Structure formats: structure tokens, C-alpha cells
Amino acid sequence: MTKKTNLSNTSDPAVIDIVELKKNIHLFHQGKYDEDRFKHYRLTRGVYGQRQLGVHMFRTKIPFGRISTEQLIRLADVSEKYTNGNLHLTTRQNIQYHYVKLDDSPGIWAELSEVGVTAREACGNTVRNLTASANAGIDPDELFDVSPYVHAVYEYFLRNPICQDMGRKIKPAFSSSDKDSAFTYFHDFGFIPRIQKIEEQEIRGFKLVIGGGLGAQAMVAQTAFEFIPANEIIPFMEATIRVFDRYGEREKRFKARMKFLLKKIGLEAFLNLVKEERKSLPTQTIEIEAQLWEGPSIPEKINIEAEAPLNQIQYENWLLANVFEQKQKGFFAAQLKIQLGDIDAPNARALARIAKKYAADDLRITVNQGILLRFIRPEYLPVLFNRLYEIGLADPGFNSLADITACPGTDTCNLAVTNSTGLALALEEVVRNEYPHLVTSSSLNIKISGCMNACGQHMAANIGFHGSSIKKEGKVLPAMQVVLGGGVDPEGKGFIAEKVIKLPTKRIPDALRMVLDDYENLETPIYFNDYVQQKGKRFFYDFLKPLAATDNLLDLDFIDWGNEQAYHQAIGVGECAGVALDLVSIILEDAREKLELSALALAKNALGDSVYHTYSALVIGAKGLLLSEDVRCNTHKGIIDDFQTHFVDTEKISIAKTFPDLVLQMKKNQPNVEFAKAFGQEAQSFLERVFDYRNSTLGDQDKLVVGSYYKA
């Protein structure tokens, strides 16, 4: 499990994080911390702006969704103490709180930290939470348990200097088998287990795909390696993140993901850059001691009184849809459908007590916003069902059409255009009442996002919807873009859904009925995505077009799901893509701060960290001067080249070598004490010249620059 935090240990990084957050909130309230810079800071500490003024969303970072019963109880207790008492499970296997007061966020973090839960790098432009198949370790189809590898990668990149100031976020995923239940195909890094036999020895490794992503321009990840040894995955990721950090787009925020860099330069050129970058890493291999992994303890057998199911029909459907036998014969796993991913504190505590008694103390949050219990003895299943039934958590239909994934939408999100949750509830009712035979089938699913940014992963659904709007004679009505044919097929191939048509959101239930009826009327049943491809986009556009007509609108069409008043479009600014203003002097101070961090890392013999902080100091210092003279800044590579052109070649700044040679020597030297010291000294000398030049040309004045210029 994640290491617990002793809050009295002031040298613990987690304690430092919490103390720093509290201090910076105080400075912000005093007006001593620029608002936009504070926003960037708090995002990497899990504190995200909410649609409602004066409150925030607080996100935890739970690697591969693994939590203990103790952690679940603490999460529940904290939700009642500081928030509205609700735990929201996300598609990235995290838990979020909503309606959090900014001043309460350090207290929340402190109490969660005591049980090993962090918020560090849960949001912002960094390596986000690592997701994985919830059934890793018990999957009958897996070659080996990916859990220790996911956890090792999580620990390596948490607080790592290379991913603190990136242009955009990085999302990795590990699947337990070729069935790709972790959706690796739409991640920046996707890992699928492989075993290769070399000289009679079995070597663990992974198929590695890179550069996938959802959002407005969804892309399927490309295969980098059919096999990469397990001890090379962390060095490869580090080198790749360095390349992305240097060459990736920063000014145009919607083009700043790794998938766009890969598309721009091509897979071969990208991998060549990564290969060159790897030469400078402290080590070329990092062993992951999987045998030391602390998996769940199999619970001791207890005597329980036999019980008849409280609802026999529901129990039989629950067994069929929610329960499967593990690879460990004689044990079963139960998947819990958590509607909208929301579980209140009393039920969360009750679930923890139930799991503690009848299953392993190892719960997994699933990518479809549910919870998986593992190592359940078969004789416990009726009793377990009854206890879950009593608290409303025994609904059959896990990962079926009646288990709809939905982001919070306009309930809380600034970017949302329409309401996701109300529509999800309406569609679940349609499925349960009109298509009950589909409740026990996991071959079809629905996912909904409140906007095109895909927090609900709608582009990875057989049937998906994302928030939109339609204008009609000066009025605006809520709408949904219909997408079809996404997700993973039975062989594990990933598909991106295709946009079909935009419909008023109140007509989406009828659209669902039309599509399902047509699909079920096929003479020969086939997989849904094959049906979509055979029929083609034009068929579905024409088929659903009558529902798009706006000459027969009712008053109800102008009211979004879950609302009583007429629709009013109110879209805020997403904080991960916000535009800000800043002073050049503050940017230059950032460079000085990076150099101080370099010295601290060197003192701790963290040589790789020291070198990367020095590199950052040089780039940020150059960026500050370029902005002071109105030179647009985009990529790190662009900054390095432009500084040479505008300052070194013109002899405004005198250095002993070219600026690219100065900065990029970190690529040509593996970190050692001598190089780290020398590199830091050169950076110190460079920054002294930068500040001298700035002072001589500007005096006491300063300059504002648009945030999109300085994001690089």
C-alpha cells in the first residue's frame, strides 16, 4: 500500500507539500501570490476550480485505484467533515471531493496523508494518476500481475523534476491482458504484459504503445515496441517525457499533448529522439522487484450462517453480470455498480466493513466508476450479496448499458456545456425498463461527457455522447453530439468512436431506442462496432436526422436534464488550459528558484534531479529575456534556438559557447557529481548575465506578458 505519512516528520516530502500548500494559500489571501501563478501551483496539489464560486474540487491521486478499507473509511470521514459527504469515483480510478473551501484543502490532505493518500500531481501538467486493469493480479487471462510495475512507475515519477513544468499532462495505463480492459490504446503510455524467452529464461516485459488520447481530436496510440523488458520501462518513459518537455507544443494548449508531437514528426523520428535522450540518463535499466510486492492477504476463512438471497432474481442476475472466478481457483471477485460513481460517506463506511469481513482488504476503483472486491469464497457470495443489497450496492449490470459512465458535467465543472448526470440516469431507466435483457451483458456500453474534453471517455464507448448546444431563432437549447463505434472489441482492439449527429439532449433517449432496436433487428447478431462500420456514418446520420429537426421544438427541449429552468449556456475557462498574465521579473525569479532546487538536489546526491533543475533554470531564464523583447515562446527547443539568434549571435549576452551547446550538454553527459557541479556553475554564471542585462535595459520598470506566450 502507499506509504503512510507521519505529520510530525518535517523532512517527509508529503509533510512538506502540506505545509507549503497552507503557507501559499495564506500568501495568496494576502495578495502576495499572483492569482494565475497560484492557480498553476494548486492544480498540481489536487485543488481544481469548480463552477460554483468560492468552492473547489479536491482530487486524490490513487495509483491504479487500489485502496484499503482503512483508507476508504478515512476518505468517507473526511468527506463529511469538510465537504458534502460524497465520494466521487472517476474514470482515472481516483476519488474526488466537491464543494471544498480552499482553506480546508491542507487539512483534507493532512488527514488523508495519515493513511497514505496523496493529492500531489493529481491535476495539472504533470504525470497524472497511473491507471490499470482493476482485475490485475486475479485476471484469469493475465501473464503476470502488473500491479508492482504500476506502483513502481508511480513512485518514480511522483515529485520528479522532469514532470513538474511540462506543457501538458501525461496519462499512462497498464492492462492486465490483451483484452485491454485498461484502454491503453488512448493513453500517452500504454503497457500490455508480455513474456519473452531468452536462453531458456523467461523475461517479463510489455508491449508498449504511445501517443494515444481522447478529447476533441482523439487518436489511437502507436506501437513503439512489441516487447520492451520490464527493467527498461521507467528509463524509456523518462527519456520520452524529456523529449516531450523539450519539443512539445506549449502555446496552443489544445495541441500540447504528446499525441500531436508524435503526429507532427512521426513515430520513427520521435523514437530516435528518445533513443538519444536515454544516453544521458543516470541508469539505462531500473529493476522492479515484483517478488517484493505486497499483494493482498487472502482472508482467513470464517464461519458464517448460511442465508438465502434477499432477492433471488436479482441475486442470480448479480452473479451473472457482476461476479467472476479469479485465476486463483476457489475465489471470486465481485464488481459493484456505483451509479454515476457517487457513494456517500455512510455507504462507503458500510462497504469497508463488508469488504473487511468477506473479501481481501484490497479494493480497486474501476475505470467505469465502480468498485471491485476480490478473494471472496464461494460460500460467502449469498451473504455478501445480502449485505450489499441492504445498502443499495447490489445492482446487477456492472459495465453494461445500464451502468453508464458520466463525468459530473454542469453539476460542478467549469467547462461543461450540458448536464451529463441527469441524462445518464434517464438512459439507465430506459435500459432497465425497456431492454432488461441487456442488463446482464457487458458487450455494450454508454459513456457521456459534458463537453468534448472526454472526462467521461465518450469516444471510447460503443454509444457515446458529449455536451453541445443548438441555436434556434436567438435561443439556445442543450444538445448532445452522438458518437458510435468506440471502445475495445472482444479481441482487445481499440476503436475511437465516430461523430454522427448533434441532437437536442431531451431526444437522446429516443435516439438510443432507435439505435438499439435497429441493432437488435439484425438477422445475424454481430458485435456492435461491426454493425456500426457495416452501416456507415451516413446511415446513422440519415436515420437519426428526424430527431434533429428544430421546427417542432417544445418548451421541454429548452430545459436541460436535472434542471427546471430554461437552459442558459455558461462555459467557464478550464484551468488546465487557462490564459494568464505575468511579469517577466517573476519568470526570471522562477529560473533562480530552479537553480536553488538544483543545489539542494546535488547536496542530497540526487544527481539526475540536480541536472534537470539546472536545465530548467537555463531555459526559463532564456524565456524571460525573449519575452521581454516580444519574441514569442513556444517549445523549449524553440526557446533554445531563438535565444542563440536574438541574444548570443547579436552579442547582447556573452557566453563561452553557443546556447544550445550550453543547455543540451545535459544530453551528452550522464549525471555525476563533477558534471552536476560544473553544469550548475555555468547556469549560475548565465543567470547573472541575464539579470544584469535585464536590469541595464529596464531599470525599475517591468513588463506584462500574455500567458500563452510564456507557457513554454
**Would you say residue 400 has pLDDT above 90?**
yes
- 30 grid coordinates: 494576502
**Would you say residue 575 has pLDDT above 70?**
no
Asked if residue 397 lies in contact with residue 439, where contact means CB atoms within 8 angstroms, the answer is: yes
Give the end-to-end CA distance of the chain in Å, rounded to a whole number: 36
* Common-topology check for domains 132-291 and 312-390: no
Within 8 A by CB and 6+ apart from 661, the residues are none
Question: pLDDT, tens digit, for every residue of 455-489?
Answer: 999 999 999 999 999 998 888 999 999 999 999 99
**Would you say residue 22 has pLDDT above 90?**
yes
Residue range 225-249: mean pLDDT, rounded: 96
- Position 578 scores a pLDDT of 38
Using 50, 70 and 90 to split pLDDT, how confident is the model at 582?
low
Sheet holding 66-67, edge to edge: 66-67, 363-365, 371-376, 332-336, 323-325
**Would you say residue 181 has pLDDT above 50?**
yes
Q: Cβ atoms within 10 A of the Cβ of 592, count?
A: 16
Asked if residue 270 lies in contact with residue 278, where contact means CB atoms within 8 angstroms, the answer is: no
The secondary structure of 322-385, three-state, reads HEEECCCCCCEEEEECCHHHEEEHHHHHHHHHHHHHHCCCCEEECCCCCEEEEEECHHHHHHHH
Asked if residue 192 lies in contact with residue 141, where contact means CB atoms within 8 angstroms, the answer is: no
Nearest-angstrom CA–CA distance, 699 and 573: 35
Give the long-range contacts of residues 307-315, CB within 8 A, separation 24 or more.
307/382, 307/383, 307/386, 308/382, 309/382, 309/385, 309/386, 309/389, 310/385, 310/386, 310/389, 310/390, 311/389, 311/394, 314/389, 314/394, 314/395, 314/396, 315/382, 315/385, 315/394
- Cβ-based burial of 300 (10 A; exposed 0-12, middle 13-18, buried ≥19): exposed
Q: Cβ atoms within 10 A of the Cβ of 131, count?
A: 28
Q: Which of 576, 498, 559, 571 is nearest to 532 (CA)?
A: 498
- Position 581 scores a pLDDT of 43
Is the domain spanning 579-710 CATH 1.20.120.330? The answer is: yes
Query: CA gyration radius for the chain?
Result: 26
Query: Which carries the bigger pLDDT value, residue 141 or residue 32?
Result: 141
Q: What percentage of the chain exceeds 70 in pLDDT?
A: 96
Q: Which of 287, 297, 290, 372 is nearest to 333 (CA)?
A: 372
Reading phi first (left if > 0) and then psi (alpha if -120 to 50, else beta), residue 183 is in left
Asked if residue 288 lies in contact with residue 366, where contact means CB atoms within 8 angstroms, the answer is: no
Domain at 13-113, CATH class:
alpha beta
Using 50, 70 and 90 to split pLDDT, how confident is the model at 199?
confident
Q: How far is CA 477 from CA 432, 468, 564, 661, 698, in A?
A: 28, 9, 13, 57, 52
- 318 grid coordinates: 448479480
Q: Cβ atoms within 10 A of the Cβ of 359, count?
A: 24
**Would you say residue 588 has pLDDT above 90?**
no
CATH, range 405-575: 3.30.413.10
Q: At what angle do helices 584-603 and 673-698 cross, to 10 degrees?
A: 160
**Would you say residue 674 has pLDDT above 50?**
yes
Q: How far is Cα of residue 583 from the mean position of the Cα atoms in its chain?
A: 31
Using 50, 70 and 90 to split pLDDT, how confident is the model at 576?
low
Within 8 A by CB and 6+ apart from 69, the residues are 352, 353, 355, 356, 361, 363
- Cβ-based burial of 577 (10 A; exposed 0-12, middle 13-18, buried ≥19): middle
Is the domain spanning 312-390 CATH 3.30.420.40? The answer is: no
**Would you say residue 530 has pLDDT above 70?**
yes
Domain at 132-291, CATH class:
alpha beta
Which range, of 82-96, 226-240, 383-397, 585-599, averages the lowest pLDDT?
Answer: 585-599
- 686 grid coordinates: 548565465
Nearest-angstrom CA–CA distance, 344 and 569: 29
- Position 253 scores a pLDDT of 75
Domain ranges for the chain? 13-113, 132-291, 312-390, 405-575, 579-710
Using 50, 70 and 90 to split pLDDT, how confident is the model at 159?
very high
Q: How far is CA 645 from CA 141, 535, 544, in A?
A: 56, 56, 57
Q: At what angle do helices 105-113 and 13-29 cross, to 10 degrees?
A: 170
- 107 grid coordinates: 487539512
**Would you say residue 105 has pLDDT above 50?**
yes
Q: How far is Cα of residue 498 from the mean position of the Cα atoms in its chain?
A: 22
Q: Which of 186, 163, 164, 159 is nearest to 175 (CA)?
A: 186
3-state secondary structure of 57: strand
Nearest-angstrom CA–CA distance, 508 and 256: 33
Which helix (H) or strand (E) element contains residue 202?
strand 201-210
- Position 290 scores a pLDDT of 87
Within 8 A by CB and 6+ apart from 1, the residues are 66, 68, 71, 116, 294
- Cβ-based burial of 156 (10 A; exposed 0-12, middle 13-18, buried ≥19): middle
Residue range 501-526: mean pLDDT, rounded: 96
Looking at residue 4, the DSSP 8-state letter turns out to be P
Q: Which of 166, 171, 229, 239 is nearest to 608 (CA)?
A: 239
- Cβ-based burial of 467 (10 A; exposed 0-12, middle 13-18, buried ≥19): buried
Using 50, 70 and 90 to split pLDDT, how confident is the model at 570?
low
- Position 463 scores a pLDDT of 98
Amino acid letter at 521? N
Q: How far is Cα of residue 707 from the mean position of the Cα atoms in its chain?
A: 24
Pairing, β 172-174 against β 189-198: parallel
**Would you say residue 658 has pLDDT above 50?**
yes
Using 50, 70 and 90 to split pLDDT, how confident is the model at 250?
confident
- Position 579 scores a pLDDT of 37
Amino acid letter at 680? G
Query: Which carries the bigger pLDDT value, residue 413 or residue 140?
Result: 140
Q: Is the pTM of this model over 0.85?
A: yes
**Would you say residue 707 has pLDDT above 60?**
no
- Position 510 scores a pLDDT of 97
Alpha helices in 462-583 (DSSP H): 508-520, 528-535, 537-544
Q: Cβ atoms within 10 A of the Cβ of 433, count?
A: 9
Q: How far is CA 421 from CA 84, 232, 406, 456, 574, in A?
A: 17, 42, 6, 10, 19
**Would you say residue 577 has pLDDT above 60?**
no
- Position 219 scores a pLDDT of 95
**Would you say residue 10 has pLDDT above 80?**
no
Residue range 428-441: mean pLDDT, rounded: 95
Alpha helices in 83-171 (DSSP H): 105-113, 147-157
Amino acid letter at 271? L
Q: How far is CA 112 from CA 96, 367, 484, in A?
A: 12, 22, 40
Looking at residue 414, the DSSP 8-state letter turns out to be S
Nearest-angstrom CA–CA distance, 329 and 313: 26
Looking at residue 559, the DSSP 8-state letter turns out to be S
Using 50, 70 and 90 to split pLDDT, how confident is the model at 698?
low
Query: Which carries the bigger pLDDT value, residue 511 or residue 304?
Result: 511
Asked if residue 482 lies in contact with residue 544, where contact means CB atoms within 8 angstroms, the answer is: yes
Using 50, 70 and 90 to split pLDDT, how confident is the model at 39?
confident
Query: Which carries the bigger pLDDT value, residue 137 or residue 416?
Result: 137
Asked if residue 55 lies in contact with residue 96, where contact means CB atoms within 8 angstroms, the answer is: no
- Position 668 scores a pLDDT of 87
**Would you say residue 101 has pLDDT above 90?**
yes
